[in-house]
Structure 1
Amino acid sequence: MAPQLLAALRGGSADLPLARSVVLVVVDGLGAPALRAHAGHARTLSSAMAKKDVAGSVFPTTTAAALTSLLTGAVPGAHGLVGYSVRDPESDALVNLLSGWEAGGIDPLEWQSAPTVFEQAAESGHPVFALGIPAYAGSGFSGATLRGAEFRSAPGAAERVQLAWELADAHDGAIVYCYLPEVDKAGHRHGVDSAEWVAALEDVDAALSRTVPDGVGVLVTADHGMIDVPQHRHLILDAAGGWHDGIRHIGGEPRMLHVYTEPDVDQTALLSRWRRDLEGAADVVSRAEAIEAGLFGPVASDAVRRRIGDMLVIARGTVALYDGEADDQRARGMVGQHGALTPEEWRVPFIRLGAFRR
């Protein structure tokens, strides 16, 4: 996405025409299938979305990996944010890549060294802004993904979109990033088909219905979609069931686990056992198989390979897998989830507004 935005400021591309300034709106968690299924509650977005106005997310379909790819143009195998929680090879501890940078002693520049779209644009003299909620200001994840941008905060979706329009209008040549997490939050708590999720979608759609300033190109997309997981589809991986035999850490998230084994374990035998016991519920692949298949993109640096689990467990259908021995079990209360490769999680909108509208 980053190269396309820069191209739109420099003369246009096959995907986006020339614009006076550009706004990238990311509606966290809004999958293309869910948007189409609720088109009547999102008239602005659905009316601007043609059949082919979709794009693919990355693997895993999680915010840390996907937002970083959107804002750098690099695949997870290159930028290194390969999951929700992954093992830090230096400390041999799991690190939450959304909120655990400081606690884990992780340097954002060291872990994510790919230049952001903001750094690339600023080098060419473009004004750059990133809009989010106040809690994200100065976080480690913001340091990894928003470097080079002037961060502005606003509490609500409508205020953020209004500010994005104003900044793009006032600063020719600007790149403005506007992050809207409301739909994702409602989905996690209540599910994609809930009244709360629909209300959040309606609020975002209303915010985006305001007139775009002349010459400003707006691209609306998402980092990933979401699928509802009923409680009877929860699989608990606990020590009593033998799931922790030979296992050092279980990271990732319930729809896509990074499983790190003990150094002396027979990995071939362990892989076979997990495949057998999870047949029909999840696909279990080794690190080497995942990299060879290009799941993390066509490249995976040596440093990034060390962060990827020895085994990856990718949920099928509406299954979620939980580490029953984890200290924090709050994730078991989530309804809407993501991380795997179903169309609901992987397909996202690619909607053009303003100067980008066809």
Structure 2
Amino acid sequence: MPLMLPSGPESTRSIAGVAHQLLAALRDGTADLPPVRSAVLVVVDGLGAIPLRAHAGHARTLSSLMAKKDIAGSVFPTTTASALTSLLTGVAPGAHGMVGYRVLHRATDALVNQLTDWEQAGVDPLTWQAAPTVFEQASASGHPVFAVGMPKFASTGFTRAILRGAQYRPARSAAERVELAWELADAHDGALVYCYLPEADKAGHKHGIDSAEWVTALEDIDSALSRRVPDGVGVLVTADHGMIDVPRHRQLVLDAAGGWHDGIRHIGGEPRMLHVYTEPDADQPRILERWRRDLDGLADVVSRVEAVDAGLFGPLVTDAARERIGDILVVARSNRALYDGDAEDQRGRDMVGQHGGLTLEEWRVPFIRMGAFAR
């Protein structure tokens, strides 16, 4: 049976709608956001709503502002390349084409890491991700537009794919980035300012979301966001996705010795959501049946057609996006992860916190209003 996105009373708001809401707030406002002088979008990479609530004592500013219904749903897959692009374009992955962490570039028959491989893969960010960004739309309407992030991200391919239209302003620490974002919003009436905080995601991947390191990152972010917001400036704090801890004994290694590479040309995606690409002459229905049988109870296995028909990648899937989606998709259940045992780089097996799947921990993110947006 095809997978379905999580649903429920708190899941009707999507991160894919945030971009247009912020633009509307610079004009007449929306049901969620009143009109403001300037708007700031703060994205805390990897901060799920459930882990935030579980560690509320370490995030007193954010938790005090977060009501029960202050929740948004991420997109599928729940990974940065897909979800952050949806946040900043207002469309689902099927429309913007960033359908996973590592996907197949069929022209070169090679996997492309959509966060880091742009230059070496010879991929043009302007055509690979062709959907207009919120920054391009805001700039075309005459709004000053800024993106505040870490210095090392200033000129990457991923930045050019999702932040085009914004003036990039680097700052090193979370506190410095928040301070700069507030200053820009205050100094430029009508401004749209994006502020990216990746510290929690980094700590979670390395140590897990229940670790002292993750808690310290959360405390630092919360402290940075406790700074007074300038008058008339609305701030929205959200995330691209959440995270779940995967202990080593919950990993499953898919290697050639176990027959997992029979008829398989590439295994992409990430450990919580694999894009599996079959050989051109492979018996795809047989492979799909075998993977479903052998992963029963461990992962959900669907074909590309089933995933697209179920709307997992959104209501529209472009031809370019369809080409990048795996012939078979494998979504890990519970807190499991699946690894390509024959991949050259096995460093990913050291990751504790992971995402990409469809648990509520990965899918539900905060939607917190601050400053002139606060209720």
TM range (shorter): over 0.9
Match of 1:180 among 197, 216, 221: 197
Q: 1:290 aligns with which of 304, 307, 314?
A: 307
- TM-fit CA distance, 1:302: 1.1
Matched, 1:274 2:300: no
Tell me the residue number matched to 1:47.
64
TM superposition shift of 1:243 = 0.3
2:217 aligns with 200
Q: Where does structure 1 differ by over 6 angstroms across 4 or more consecutive aligned residues? A: none
Give the equivalent residue in structure 1 for 2:11: none
Q: What letter is aligned with 1:313?
A: V
Amino acid at match of 2:348: A
Residue 100 (structure 1) aligns with: 117
Map of 2:3 onto structure 1: none
Q: Distance in 2 between matches of 1:132 and 1:331?
A: 25
Matched, 1:119 2:169: no
Q: Which amino acid aligns with 2:237?
A: V
TM-score (norm 1): 1.00
CA distance in 2, matches of 1:153, 1:333: 30
Give, in whole Å, the separation in 2 of the partners of 1:239 and 1:270: 14
Deviations, residues 59-116 of structure 1 (Å, cap 9, x unaligned): 0000000000000001100000000000012111000000000111000111111110
Structure 1, gaps ≥5 residues long: none
Instruction: Give percent identity, aligned residues only.
Output: 76
- The code of the aligned residue for 2:120 comes to A
How many matched pairs?
A: 358
Query: What is aligned with 1:308?
Result: 325
Which of 222, 232, 242 is the matching residue for 2:259?
A: 242
Does 1:171 find its partner at 2:161? no
1:258 paired with 2:275, answer yes
Unaligned ranges ≥5, structure 2: 1-17
Which of 11, 15, 19 is the matching residue for 2:32?
15
Aligned residue for 1:349, secondary structure, equals: strand
Displacement of 1:303 in angstroms is 1.3
2:316 to 283, 293, 299: 299
Q: Is 1:222 paired with 2:239?
A: yes
Mapped to 1, the partners of 2:256 and 2:229 lie a distance apart of: 55
Amino acid at match of 1:280: G
In 1: Cα distance, 2:85 partner to 2:319 partner: 19
Partner of 1:131 in structure 2? Answer: 148
Normalising by structure 2, we get a TM-score of 0.95
Q: What is the CA-CA distance between 1:128 and the residue it aligns to?
A: 0.3
**Correspondence for 1:57:** 74
Question: Following the alignment from structure 1 to structure 2, what is the Cα–Cα distance between the partners of residues 100 and 125?
Answer: 33
